[in-house]
Structures are given as C-alpha cells and as structure tokens.
Amino acid sequence: MMLKELTPPRISIGAEQLGAIADRAEGTLAKLRDDLLEPWPRKMAPIVTGARLAKLCKLDRTQINYLCTRGHREGLPVGTLKGTSRNREFTLAEAQEFVRMAGPYKPRPTGTKGIVLSVGNFKGGVGKTTMAVAIAQALTLHGHKVLLIDLDPQASSTTLMGYVPTPEVSEEMTVMPVVYGEQPDLTYAAIPSYWNNLDIIPSSAALFGADYYLPNKQATDPQYEFWKVLDSAMGPIRETYDVVVIDTPPTLSYLAIGCFMATDGMVIPLPPETLDYASSTQFFRQFSELFKTLSDRSVEKAFAFIKVVLSKVKPGVATTDVVKSWIQQTYPELLARAEVLETDLVKNAAAEFKTIYDLTRYEGSTATFNRALESFDSVVDEIEAEIQNTWALQLAEVTDGE
C-alpha cells in the first residue's frame, strides 16, 4: 500500500496577522528601550571628565585645573572634584559653557544664518544615522546650538535619541505639517532633547506619506514647486540654531530632493568596501542628473561644501587600503582627511541606543576608547572648519552687497 504524499498545511499571512506582528515588534522595541535607557523613558546627558574637557578645549589637564581654580573669578564652570583626587567632572551643560568660554571654537558671527548640514547616502549600513547624531552632539560641544531633523521614515535617529517612533511620535510632531502646507515653518516641531543645546524634530513612518502627497500636488498644480517646501520652512530655524543637521531619507525621494535643496553642506559617509564604493558612484550620478533636471527648469543650486567621510574603516586590512586608494582617486577634492574607525565600542554603543559621545567611560581598553573618540572628533573639526568658512562667505556677501 502506497502512502499518500502529505501536503504541508498552507499558511497565509494577511492584514490581521501583519498587524499582530507589527504590534509585537513595537512592544518588544519599547521594552528593550525601557531596559536599556535609565531612568525610563528618556536618555540622560553624559558626564564629561576633566581629561575629555581638556581635549575639547585643546588644552592639557593641568591647564583645565588652573582655569578651574580661577573659575569663580572668570565666570567659568568649575565642575565637581571627584572624591579626594584632583580629577574633575562636569555636567554636559557645564562642559559646553566651558568650551564656549575657553575653547578654540568661534561662535556664529553676528549677521550670519545657521548652516544646514545633511548627512546622506542611498546605501544602508554605511553609518549614516550614527554619524548624523554624533555630528549634532559634537557640534554642541563646540559651543553651538544645534537642531537635528530626522527625515528618514525609518526614524533611526529618532530612536537613537531615545524615542520609539510609532507610539511616541505623532505625524504632527514631524515635518509633515510643513509638507502639507499646514505650517509656514518648522519652529512648531523642534523639541528639546536629553542632550543640552540639541533639539530634535523627530520622524515616524508618517513621512512615507510625503512621497505620495508631493508628486500628486505637483501634478495637479503646475505652479507648485515641491523642492522649495523645506527650504522655505527653514527661515526662522536658521535664525534660532547655529547648525541644523539632517538625517536624510535613504533614497532620492521627493522629500530627499527638498532636503538637498535646503542644504548648505553635505556629509557623505562611505565605508572603504567595494560595494559601498560602487554605490557611491551611482549616488553621484543620480545626484548629478537630479540637479541637471532642476537646472533645466531654471532652478539653481550650489553647495557650500561636500565632505566624503570614510566610515567603518578597518585599520590594517589590505582590501581596505586598496578601496581607500580608489576613493582618493575618485573624490580628491571632496575626501575628508579624518576617518571614522570601525570598533566594537561604536557597534556596542549603537546596540544600546547610544553614540560614542553618550559614553563617559569604556570598560575595555582606554586606548581603544580614545582612538575611536578622536576619530569622530577629527571629522567634526573638519566640518567645523567648513561651517566657519561658510559663515565667512556669508559676511563677505553682505559686505559686497552694501
């Protein structure tokens, strides 16, 4: 007697099952966030050590201690002595004030506008979000007031800043009211974060709606100019903030085009890997064709600066050096001198919803921690120089116009 071949039971996943999976996923993420971020539900600003403050100010620790002994007379924050030692600790706000008063960084000149800086790449896994948030945090340590705008519907920057997007971020808290024309500018959406002098406009899946609304609006109204929507909404924001950092969408969407048209400078993270390098050439081709299309419509756009930053660099790996040489040949005028190293420290921090700037200390090698921190600091120092140059050009244009 032959056994009848059994047909496996048919399993179908419909809308109801997908909804249950989504609910479970959001609940798991919320619980994970609650476990990792203490005290719930918000992250806490880190403590800044005297040694770290010395590096930010380009001074040595003895100079920091000397300035602190005179601090009450000079108006400098003096921090808190740790136990009976001479080691000092500073709150983030104290450290920012100390750098503002004694550090090497210049404030935004009177008469200039805030700089809008986009961090973008159309390929995933290049470190875009980590770099966007880290740059925003680091620029506050240069004494600047910064706004972080999350334009990625996946809301990774929002999550990294301590929010679970779907339950905590409504559409009204994102850029969508500006996209719909319900708000004239973005001031309504900027909210304080756990990080002093860093505000955020969060994201959620609602941003996917921009790429339905904007093309439909453009199709029904030939006079509509979707690429101006975000730029027009930046007016008061540029007055309030020294720097606006945007975590861009990962595709050349309508929202991304509007973002780039509102941008003064761009940072493009690029790991020295073959596939990432190949993807970067497509990025620039798409970018070039986009602006050619817009220029045919008499739309002019120029960036004050573009920085290609090597990210996730693996020192001592032969293939890394080969691909780095390709990138250097391809983008000599854009390539940053500094590069971000790949370390378990950075990956582990991201797994806990943190950047390297959220860490006060590291349980492993101090040398590894310092190298990773210095690599990010060096990148931000280059960006700082570009920002200062852009402000100088703004002042020159005002003078020439008088």
Do 245 and 149 meet the contact criterion of CB atoms below 8 Å apart?
Answer: yes
Report whether the peptide linkage leading into residue 104 is cis, meaning its omega lies within 30 degrees of zero: no
Q: Residue 222: inside a domain, yes or no?
A: yes
Within this chain, do residues 235 and 337 fall inside the same structural domain, yes or no? yes
Distance of CA 197 to the CA centre of its chain: 14
Within this chain, do residues 260 and 350 fall inside the same structural domain, yes or no? yes
Number of separate helices (H) and strands (E) present in the chain: 17, 10
pLDDT for position 41: 47
Do 395 and 112 meet the contact criterion of CB atoms below 8 Å apart?
Answer: yes
Do 89 and 48 meet the contact criterion of CB atoms below 8 Å apart?
Answer: yes
Q: Residue 324: inside a domain, yes or no?
A: yes
Q: Which residues pair with 192 in a beta bridge?
A: 199
Within this chain, do residues 78 and 166 fall inside the same structural domain, yes or no? no
pLDDT in tens, the chain (402 residues): 455 555 555 555 656 666 676 677 767 766 666 665 544 446 889 999 999 999 999 999 889 888 888 766 678 898 998 876 678 899 999 999 999 999 999 999 999 999 999 998 878 788 899 999 999 999 999 999 999 999 999 999 999 998 878 778 999 999 999 999 999 999 999 999 999 999 999 999 999 999 999 999 999 998 899 999 999 999 999 999 999 999 998 888 899 999 999 999 999 999 999 999 998 888 888 878 887 888 777 788 889 999 999 999 988 788 888 999 999 999 999 999 999 998 888 888 887 888 999 987 766 778 888 899 999 999 999 999 999 999 999 998 877 665
Q: What is the CATH number of the domain that holds 225?
A: 3.40.50.300
Within this chain, do residues 81 and 123 fall inside the same structural domain, yes or no? no
Q: Residue 7: inside a domain, yes or no?
A: no
Within this chain, do residues 178 and 287 fall inside the same structural domain, yes or no? yes
Owning domain of residue 90: 48-102
Report residue 224: phi and psi, to 5°. -70, 140
Q: Which residues pair with 269 in a beta bridge?
A: 309
pLDDT for position 319: 82
Do 227 and 261 meet the contact criterion of CB atoms below 8 Å apart?
Answer: yes
277, amino acid identity: Y
Q: Residue 220: inside a domain, yes or no?
A: yes
Within this chain, do residues 369 and 299 fall inside the same structural domain, yes or no? yes
Enter the tokens of residue 66.
């000397």
Within this chain, do residues 94 and 211 fall inside the same structural domain, yes or no? no
Do 383 and 307 meet the contact criterion of CB atoms below 8 Å apart?
Answer: yes
From CA 383, how far away is CA 141, in angstroms rounded?
Answer: 13
Within this chain, do residues 74 and 154 fall inside the same structural domain, yes or no? no
From CA 402, how far away is CA 400, in angstroms rounded?
Answer: 6
From CA 149, how far away is CA 132, in angstroms rounded?
Answer: 9
Q: Which residues pair with 265 in a beta bridge?
A: 117, 305
Within this chain, do residues 89 and 150 fall inside the same structural domain, yes or no? no
Closest by CA position to 151, among listed 260, 52, 284, 299: 260
Q: Residue 43: inside a domain, yes or no?
A: no
Q: Residue 267: inside a domain, yes or no?
A: yes
From CA 363, how far away is CA 348, in angstroms rounded?
Answer: 12
pLDDT for position 123: 80
Within this chain, do residues 272 and 322 fall inside the same structural domain, yes or no? yes
Q: Residue 202: inside a domain, yes or no?
A: yes
Q: Residue 333: inside a domain, yes or no?
A: yes
pLDDT for position 306: 92
Within this chain, do residues 55 and 154 fall inside the same structural domain, yes or no? no
Write down which residue in 40, 67, 102 finishes a domain: 102
Sequence-distant (6+) residues with CB within 8 A of 103 are 56, 57, 58, 142, 143
The structural domain count of the chain equals 2
Cα Rg for the chain, rounded, in angstroms?
A: 23
From CA 77, how far away is CA 93, in angstroms rounded?
Answer: 9
Within this chain, do residues 213 and 328 fall inside the same structural domain, yes or no? yes
